[in-house]
Structure 1
Amino acid sequence: MSTRFASKIMMVTGATSGMGRAVAERLAAEGASVVLTARRKELGDEVAAGIRARGGNALFVPTDVTVESEVAAAVDTAVREFGRLDGAFNNAGGVNSFDPIPEIPADRWTTELEHNLTSVFFSLKHQLPAITAAGGGSIVVNASNLGVVGMPGVAPYVAAKHGVVGLTRAAALEHAAQSVRVNALITGGVDTPLFRETMGATPESAAQIAALHPLGRVSQPAEIAAFATFLLSDEASFVTGAALAVDGGFTAR
């Protein structure tokens, strides 16, 4: 494994399972010190301990990314403990509503946007100044394939993820002069515990979802981690403001 992140300080939100965990472990394996954030303290401590047991450097900070003060405290902790912040993978989010638009209560709409869009705004708001102060770096936001296409029955999630793509592009333009790159991942179905719980609960539904991807399957978290870490690395130094598909051809139709 390379050491392309040696001496880098990276933050990963939603880092306790699935894509977030895979990215955190990949970054640590390539030399980064990783600051992990999520709500579940016991699981977060477990993931951080596993990284340290394999020779990596990891710190878990319990954080609800829908609460701005907690996001600010997590970034402050990263800078205080490691001296700076060089990059971030913002991954927290998920589908919470599966109803037609006329049947969605206002509070469920607000919760979905808070979970998937406002959380990214809070993360960028506090990460960008820290990364700028470090001399530049990279942020990758997981926007999902539903950030660029529609799907019935999940309108709040679709709206939030479209907002994430727009927010990513605005942030990239605002901070390009400070050498901070910001990109969005357009991910298709990914075989994570949350995905299996919400979308692929039965063999029939799992097969239907796999069939939406021209490659005939959903991805593994490690495949997402490989591309996310590329975007976070200096190898992607001329890539910013992009929404890049890692979706098995889902959005190519």
Structure 2
Amino acid sequence: MASVPGIAKWPAQPLAGRVILVTGGGNGIGRGIAQAVLGAGGSVAIADRDQHGLDACLADWQVGQRALAVPLDVTAPESVEAGIARVLAHFGRLDGLVNNAGVADPHLPPLEAASWDDWQRGLSSLHGAFLCCRAALPALRASGQGAVVNIASTRAHQSEPHSEAYAAAKGGLLAFSHALAVSEGPAVRVNAITPGWVETADWQAPSRWSTPQQRPIDHAQHPAGRIGQPQDIGHLTVFLLSGLAGFVTGQEFIADGGMSRVMHYAP
């Protein structure tokens, strides 16, 4: 007589034995993701241009060989290739890539006053995802459980004045994610997370750390009742990197406390 499968236990450490590279991992959302990876049992390589931020992470974590700091500029092909090689030399494998690095400020001068360099800087997160995926894909395929998570932004769907390049980059990341998922499946899964308002003032290197300045109204405009924290994005990232998301690829996950679902009317 046939029977349905029994109750399966959830893994307490869903990333145990896996190695994850997080770009922009020295501060902010990237640091929150890296700490979530460590908490889920994984090993993490944090790549960042900010050496101070990298050093602060390792000093705070004290996890030995489970964490590696990699100075890396995601817009420079040679830096990316060297960084991936360093990760593989240290860990011997790579199972997941989180493309989080990019400019923090979404604003440019008005478009007619913006330079070509301004535009390219605004697109840095999209360029970085291309370069890092290109360098990492052979190792991710070889992993047998490879996964990519691209960190976009709700600015892919909503805008304010003079943020054209940033919005284009984040919208491009969403399209890049589903296209790469089709190209690389089933060996590598690819998904995107779209954060909304995430407070990162107290997730910075010591020289830039500050106390968050949030008003009650800032929290109240989120149906979840609060502004997001880096660990909120980290928890979702861990799920998407893990085997628990083995049937999930090519998708976008909006993590904004419900803010983009609220109707806004002028008073």
Report SS of the residue matched to 1:24. helix
Quote the offset at 1:156 in angstroms: 1.0
Equivalent residue number for residue 130 of structure 2: 121
Choose the corresponding residue for 2:110, options 97, 100, 115. 100
Flag the 1:59–1:174 CA change in 2: closer, same or farther, 3 A. Answer: same
Asked if the contact 1:189/1:209 (under 8 Å) is kept, the reply is no
Equivalent residues of 1:28, 1:56 under 8 A apart = no
Listed one character per residue, the Cα deviations across residues 19-47 of structure 1 (whole Å, up to 9, x for unaligned) are: 11111111112221111100111320221
Q: TM-score, normalised by structure 2?
A: 0.83
What is the CA deviation profile of residues 98-147 of structure 1, one whole-angstrom value per residue up to 9, with x for unaligned ones? 4432332232112211x221011111111222100222321111001112
Partner of 1:152: 161
- Work out whether residues 145 and 250 of structure 1, in 8 Å CA contact, stay in contact via their aligned partners in 2: no
Q: Tell me which amino acid in the other structure corresponds to 2:42.
A: A
- Higher helix share goes to which structure? 1
Structure-to-structure mapping, 1:237-248, within 5 angstroms: 237-248=246-257
TM-superposition CA deviations, 1:45-99 (whole Å, max 9, x none): 2212332x25671010100111111111111111121111000211111225344
CA contact (8 A) 2:15 2:238 kept: no
Counterpart residue number, 2:121: 111
> For this pair of structures, how many residues does the alignment match?
246
Aligned counterpart, 1:192:
200
- Which residue does the alignment assign to 1:36? 46
CA–CA distance in 1 between the matches of 2:17 and 2:23? 20
If you compute each CA radius of gyration, which structure gives the higher value, 1 or 2?
A: 2
**Does structure 1 residue 218 correspond to structure 2 residue 234?**
no
Structure 2 counterparts to residues 1-253 of structure 1, below 5 A: 2-51=12-61, 53-54=62-63, 57-93=66-102, 94-113=104-123, 115-178=124-187, 180-193=188-201, 210=219, 213-253=222-262
Q: Which runs of 5 or more structure 2 residues have no equivalent in the other structure?
A: 1-10, 263-267
Change beyond 3 A, Cα 1:83–1:19: same
One-letter code of the match for 2:118? R
CA distance in 1 between counterparts of 2:105 and 2:125 reads 8
Offset of residue 252 of structure 1: 2.6
Give the secondary structure class of the aligned counterpart of 1:138.
strand
Displacement, 1:164? 0.8
Over the aligned positions, Cα root-mean-square deviation in angstroms equals: 2.5
Structure 2: distance between partners of 1:112 and 1:147: 13
Return the TM-score normalized by structure 1: 0.87
CA distance change for structure 1 residues 245 and 41 in 2, over 3 Å: closer, same or farther? same
**Shift in CA distance, 250/152, structure 1 to aligned 2, threshold 3 Å:** farther
Which 5+ residue runs of structure 1 have no aligned equivalent? none
**Greater RCO between the two (CA within 8 Å, min separation 6)?**
2
Structure 2 Cα separation of the partners of residues 176 and 62 of structure 1: 30
